Every structure is written in C-alpha cells, then in structure tokens.
Chain A
Amino acid sequence: DARVTQTPRDKVTEMGQEVTMRCQPILGHNTVFWYRQTMMQGLELLAYFRNRAPLDDSGMPKDRFSAEMPDATLATLKIQPSEPRDSAVYFCASGLAIQGAMGEAFFGQGTRLTVV
C-alpha cells in the first residue's frame, strides 16, 4: 500500500532551534510538494520539486526556510532558526505529472510543529 511518509509526526522545539522535517514520497512519483497549514491561511504551497529539481520556492520565507531533495526517496524541509510563527502543520505530498497534466496528489500525515 503505497503512501507518503513524513517524520516526525510531532515536533516541539524552542525558538531559535533548527527543525528538519522529512518526507518519503511514493516511488515513481515525479512531483513533490511542501505545504503549510494554518487556521488563517489554509494550505499554503511552500515549495515543490519536479524530478528532484526545485521549481518554485516563492512561498517560503527565504531567510529561514530551505527545501531540498537529495534523492528520489527523500525530501527535506528545514527551518533555521525557528520562530513561534512557524508553528503549523506541514504536509508533504507527491504526485505524477505527465505532459502537463498533474494527477492526484497523495498527502502524508503531516508534521505538527510547535515552536515555543
């Protein structure tokens, strides 16, 4: 049963600390998304990759957030330094885009981040 796996599920950290969230996309999917969910903003697209190449990270605060995909089985989202306003649920999703057609995106269970 293929699924997107995110770790950790929950993370509580102190302001100023580095946070790394990991995502294992579904094998064979060529597109990976990172979203942040808050009550006020809903699901915001932070960054996404196609065939491991970053396509758009304009949704991320550049000074503190970074997203990478070191190999096809791992995507990471890092926050350094973290701030209380970063508290949110972060979702990773993967999907298959073929000839301009984006298919269904499969979501992980999310990482609930709390920065105190």
Chain B
Amino acid sequence: AQKVTQAQTEISVVEKEDVTLDCVYETRDTTYYLFWYKQPPSGELVFLIRRNSFDEQNEISGRYSWNFQKSTSSFNFTITASQVVDSAVYFCALSERQGGSEKLVFGKGMKLTVNP
C-alpha cells in the first residue's frame, strides 16, 4: 500500500533562513509519481512539482529545490532564503502506477511559518 510520511508537523523560521521539508514514501511499485502542493492561508491547494520515479535529478525552480533519493525513499523540498509569503501548509503526495486505478495519496502536511 502506498503511504506518505511527513514527520515534521510544524516549523517556524525567520525570514531569509533556508528550510527543508522532509517527505518519506512507501510503495511496492517501481513506477510512481511524487508531488508537492502548497496550501497558503487562503486555503486553496497549489501544485508545485511532479516527479516520476525514473527521474532522480534534483530540480531547482527559483528559491525552491527538490531532492529525490530512491535509496532512502525520500523527496525533500528546500526553500532557500525563505520569505513571509512562503508561510503555508505543504503537502507531499504519491501516486502509484496501478494499471488503471491510480490514486493520489497525501501526507498529513507540514505547516511552515516564516516570521519577519
């Protein structure tokens, strides 16, 4: 069964600090997809990234970067030089390739507060 664990429930940092959000997943499939979503205080869920299991290259998008390591079943998310606008709940999610019944399972989320 697929499972996503975000061990940190809440982190508070001061603006300009770097922060890493951990995500560990469990799956029996060799083909799967990993996602990160952001939920700002307004409540909507915003897609950040999707990564397939065959692509272990790290990705960087502005201040955001993602580190995918199959050896440790982790897909960690780092925000560099955090800003107050980064304050949100961040969710990691997993979708296994199941031959027609793929679903999207989320971790419990991690609340990030960036203080000025």
Contact = CB atoms under 8 A, between A and B. Distances in A.
A106 B50 CA distance: 13
Among A43, A45, A89, A110, the one with the most B-chain Cβ atoms within 10 Å of its Cβ is: A43
Contacts of A93: 45, 104
A56 B103 contact: yes
A97 interface: yes
A70 interface: no
A33 B104 contact: yes
Contact of A100 (B31, B50, B104, B106): B31
Contacts of A91: 45
Interface residues of A, number: 26
B99 A42 contact: no
Given A43-B109, A101-B97, A107 B45 contact: yes
B97 A50 contact: no
A32 to B, nearest CB: 11
Contact of B33 (A89, A102, A109, A110): A102
A95 interface: yes
A65 interface: no
For the complex, would chain A's binding face be called helix, strand, loop or mixed by DSSP majority?
Answer: strand
Contacts of A43: 91, 106, 108-109
By size class, the interface of chain B is: 20 to 34
A105 B47 CA distance: 8
B81 to A, nearest CB: 26
B13 interface: no
A104 B35 contact: yes
A63 B114 CA distance: 42
27 contacts: A41-B108, A42-B107, A43-B91, A43-B108, A45-B105, A45-B106, A50-B101, A56-B103, A93-B45, A93-B104, A100-B97, A100-B100, A101-B33, A101-B97, A101-B102, A102-B33, A102-B102, A103-B50, A104-B35, A104-B50, A105-B35, A105-B47, A107-B37, A107-B44, A109-B43, A110-B43, A110-B44
